[in-house]
Amino acid sequence: EVQVVESGGGLVQAGGSLRLSCTVSGFTFDDYTMGWFRQAPGKEREGVSYIMTNEGNTGYADSVKGRFTISSDNAKNTVYLQMNSLKPEDTGVYYCAPVIFLQSSATSPMAVMRNALNVWGQGTLVTVSS
């Protein structure tokens, strides 16, 4: 059974930092690229970042580039998202998942990043106050 558990969210002032963690089980961690998504109130879920767990290559949405850093600990089946210089627009529920990328002419990988196993955790809420 695939399980995903996110943690680390909370309330923080603008300019502050948080570190999210996501621990997974039920599949071979190294076989998948892992991604973070977020869903702001009243908006659709969007891709934020990904990491190729067997190579270390990473990617970020333009809105978080230079502020967020994704990393993984393959021995612990865990992926992290270090979030610095947080802004109110970063507010939302953050989810992680093993991901795939749809074949598309879209220029941004985030636009075609999808949950590979269609299993979501409960997410972790990040609230950034102004």
User: Residue for token digits 């879920």?
Assistant: 45
Number of helices (H), then strands (E), in the chain: 0, 11
Residues 12-52 have pLDDT tens digits of 999 999 999 999 999 999 999 999 999 999 999 999 999 99
**Could you tell me the CA-to-CA distances from 103 to 45, 47, 75 in Å, in that order?**
19, 16, 30
C-alpha 103/C-alpha 105 separation (Å) is 7
Residues 92-104 have pLDDT tens digits of 999 999 999 998 7
**Could you tell me the CA-to-CA distances from 47 to 44, 76, 110, 114 in Å, in that order?**
10, 23, 5, 8
